[in-house]
Every structure is written in C-alpha cells, then in structure tokens.
Amino acid sequence: MFKLTWRNTTRHPLRAGLTVTGMAVAVLAFTLLRTMVAAWYAGVSAASPARLVARNAISLIFPLPVAYLPKIQALPGITGVAYGNWFGGVYIDERHFFPQFSVDVKNYFDLYPEYLMSEDQKSAFLRDRRGAAAGQTLAARYGWKIGDAIILKGTIYPGEYRFILRAIYSGAEPTTDEGRLFFHWDYLNENLKKIAHPRTDQVSWFLIRVARPELAPLVAQEIDALFKNSLAETITETEAAFLMGFVSMTEAILMAIRVVSWVVIGVILVVLANTMVMNAGERRGEYAVLKTMGFRPRHLFPLIVGESVILALAGGIMGLALTFPAVRLIKASLGQYFRVFPLTWATLALGLGVSVGVGLLAALLPAWRASRVSIAEALRKVG
C-alpha cells in the first residue's frame, strides 16, 4: 500500500512539486508569525514569580520618590529592592533605538541573575559613576568594545550624557533580552540636580524580590497600604503582570497576527484539497479496477489520505527547515525591534502538527467520493 501511495504521489512531479512548495511557504509564514507573537510575550514568559514591580498608581509616567526605598526594605518577606528609570535617550539619531535604563546598579543586577557578566567587568562597572553595561547583542550591533564612549542625548531628561562601556552582559536563557543598556541612576540624578529638574530624587519603579513566590500577593498589598493616601500612591504587581500591561496595549495587533497565521493555513488547505480532488478525479477508473480486484473502501481511503499527508508533510518539513535561516535573518535585520525572537520547540511542533492536519483534512472529500463511487459508473468514463 505504501509503494502504491508513493507512486501516486510522484505521478505528476510538477504538480506535486508546486503543492509541496506552496505548503512549505505556508508553514514558513505560519511559524514566523507564531514566533513573532511569542517574541511579544518573551518578557512575560521570562519574568520571575518572585519579583514585584511597584509604580505610581496613576501611571508609569508619574514618578515615585526615592525616599520610599527604606520603607519598602523594612517590610517582612522582602529579600532585595532596587529602582530604576526609563531614560529614553537618542543614540546618533531616532532610528538607532534601543532600551536604556538608569538603575540602582549595586542591587539591580543581584535581582536579575539571568544577566551574566564577568566579575572584573562588573566591578569596573560598579566603580565608575559614568560606567555603562550593554547586552551582548546590542554591543555586537554597534561594534562596541569595553572602554568605548557612548553618547546619549536626553529627551525626557535634557542634556548630553557621556558613558564609558565597562561591562557587556550575556543572557542565561535564550529568552533573556541582550539588547539593553544600563547605567548609574546616581549619575543621572546628579545631572538633574545641577539643572534643578523636577524629577530629581524620583524613580519610575521599584523592583522587589520576595523570599518565596507565594508571598508576592501579601507583600504587594502591604506596599500599597504603606503609601495609601500619600501624594504618590503605588500599585504593586508581579513582574509578569507589569510587563503584560505593555503587551495588552498591542493586543489588537497580536490578535490580527494570530488570525493571519491561521488564514494562511486555511488558504493552503484549500489549495491542497483542490490538488487531491484533481488527482482523485483522474484516477476514478483506477479505483474502480482496484475494487474489482477486491479492494474495499477501507483500502482506498488510506491510499488517498496517505498521498495527501505525504505532500503536506513534505511541505511542512521543508517549511520548518527554512524557518531557521529565516529567524536568523530577521534577528540580523530587525534586531532593534525584536531583540528576542524565540523559535521554540512548541512552535515547531505546532507547525508539524498543522501540516499533518492539513493533509488529513484535504483528503477527506476526495477519499469519501472515491470510496463511494460504483464500479460501473467509474468504468463508463474510461477511454
């Protein structure tokens, strides 16, 4: 049966080749679109359940006093606290975008063990008030080396800021963002004091680590209760929930991408079904002859389904193989927008499963019609 199925599959090489190519393109588009959705959620997936983020209850754009720090540190169940600001400076021009953060470097990297850097570089970074730490991907993008000068023009915080690259970190996991730049919050704050900026001694958020993940809800309530009815009330949530707030702003876009990914599969399903209808229609006489030889509908059904699955699976495997270089190309050309573009085994398995599903569904109608055709009716059209 397999030999007969294979010969039927390769009987029209051009038709089979075009169908397999179309299937490969569809699976490639499907996996890339699903990977794009996964990239949007990469930060949420990598968030630690033991980390909380406290921000202004009104909005993230409203700051909090750095004086909140000792009060938060004094709460039970907390094992570490750091703070930071989104800097939003311009490097060269607006097209060269990458995330920039001024942080409490002494504690911030202790709370993020997934950021790996050598002890020598970390010590140099901590000692130098103008020092900066960049991710490995970001440093490779601009060819930065240890000791290079990095000049940022402030937007939220006016002025020109000159940094010295003292450390390059790498990610402990494939989903760790290596496209960020960190520098000392103290250096930024000193410059703001010189110009009497209203954001002096202000931070955008506090990053809190709790002893155990199950303590997170209780600690969050205690922090918010501590600053209730103050001039700057807080809202404290898990790191995943905090990051999910940014993702939810683009939920409509993500839904559109998901819909398009399944529309692509729907289109190739119609194409493959049309191919199988054509193949089965051309072989009606052959199926009738097989029936006269004793073949039952239960024999013809897998014969047609097998041909469809072979075509779909061949295209699916080709599409999955093309996904790897396509992902590398996207990372190289669009790295400033997709700093993490994770091609996961789950996405690959979904692409393979979709290929098999398309092959099965495309064969149902022609297989059903071939199994029901009468011998006399089929042979009447021979010749």
pLDDT, one tens digit per residue, over 41-76 is: 877 777 889 999 999 999 988 999 999 999 999 999
Residue 276 has a pLDDT of 83
Residue 42 has a pLDDT of 75
The answer to whether position 48 is within a domain reads no
Residues 77 and 208 in one domain: yes
> Is residue 251 scored above 60 in pLDDT?
yes
Domain, as residue range, for 21: 2-42+250-379
The answer to whether position 52 is within a domain reads no
Residues 24 and 101 in one domain: no
The answer to whether position 51 is within a domain reads no
Cβ-Cβ contacts under 8 Å for 122 (sequence gap 6 or more): 109, 167
Residues 36 and 147 in one domain: no
CA distance linking residue 202 with residue 291, whole number of Å? 83
Instruction: Choose between 243 and 333: higher pLDDT.
Output: 243
Residues 275 and 343 in one domain: yes
Residue ending a domain, choose from 205, 232, 259? 232
Residues 167 and 200 in one domain: yes
Residue ending a domain, choose from 232, 263, 298? 232
- The owner of tokens 């599959």 is 9
> Is residue 378 scored above 60 in pLDDT?
no
The answer to whether position 359 is within a domain reads yes
CB 216 within 8 A of CB 210: yes
> Is residue 111 scored above 90 in pLDDT?
yes
Residues 9-33: pLDDT tens digits? Answer: 788 888 889 999 999 999 999 999 9
Assign 302 a pLDDT band (cuts: 50, 70, 90). Answer: confident
The phi and psi torsions of 307 (rounded to 5 degrees) equal: -65, -45
The answer to whether position 50 is within a domain reads no
Residues 152 and 93 in one domain: yes
Residues 185 and 142 in one domain: yes
Residue 216 has a pLDDT of 94
Residues 38 and 62 in one domain: no
> Which residues share a beta bridge with 149?
164
Residues 83 and 216 in one domain: yes
The answer to whether position 241 is within a domain reads no
Token couple for 230: 């103050």
Token couple for 48: 């630690």
Assign 377 a pLDDT band (cuts: 50, 70, 90). Answer: low
Three-state DSSP at 115 gives strand
> Is residue 373 scored above 70 in pLDDT?
no
The answer to whether position 239 is within a domain reads no
**What is the count of structural domains for the chain?**
2
The answer to whether position 245 is within a domain reads no
Residue 1 has a pLDDT of 72
Residue 335 has a pLDDT of 64
Residues 210 and 274 in one domain: no
> Is residue 179 scored above 80 in pLDDT?
yes
Residue 261 has a pLDDT of 92
Residues 202 and 160 in one domain: yes
Residue ending a domain, choose from 182, 206, 232? 232
Residues 199 and 271 in one domain: no
Start-end of H helices in the chain = 2-9, 13-40, 42-46, 69-73, 105-111, 119-127, 136-142, 185-194, 216-226, 239-248, 251-282, 284-292, 297-333, 345-372, 375-379
Residues 282-299: pLDDT tens digits? Answer: 666 666 666 676 666 666
> Is residue 382 scored above 60 in pLDDT?
no
Residue 244 has a pLDDT of 86
Instruction: Tell me the average pLDDT of the chain.
Output: 87
Residue 297 has a pLDDT of 65
**Which amino acid is residue 104, in one-letter code?**
D
Residue 301 has a pLDDT of 75
